[in-house]
Amino acid sequence: MKRILAVMSLLALAACGADGEPIQPSMNANVGLGSNGVSGSTGVDFVSGRVTMGVGVGL
């Protein structure tokens, strides 16, 4: 879990645009309740023009 958070943090930092126009990342989180219990997921999306890159993890 720590590795995933470290990678997501590095991606968010890299997407801020050190060379050129800054890219604003957006984060989303979901929590669900079903017959199998509680589930959750989180992700970060980076949009640059017509290109979108997303990174996420489900728990």
DSSP per-residue string spanning 35-57: TTEEEEEEEEEEEETTEEEEEEE
Other beta carbons within 10 Å of 25: 19
What's the residue count for the chain? 59
pLDDT at 17 over 60: no
| Degrees, nearest 5: CA angle 24-44-57 | 170
More confident call, 50 vs 40: 40
Q: Would you give the end-to-end CA distance of the chain in angstroms?
A: 10
At 27-45, the pLDDT tens digits run: 889 899 988 899 898 988 8
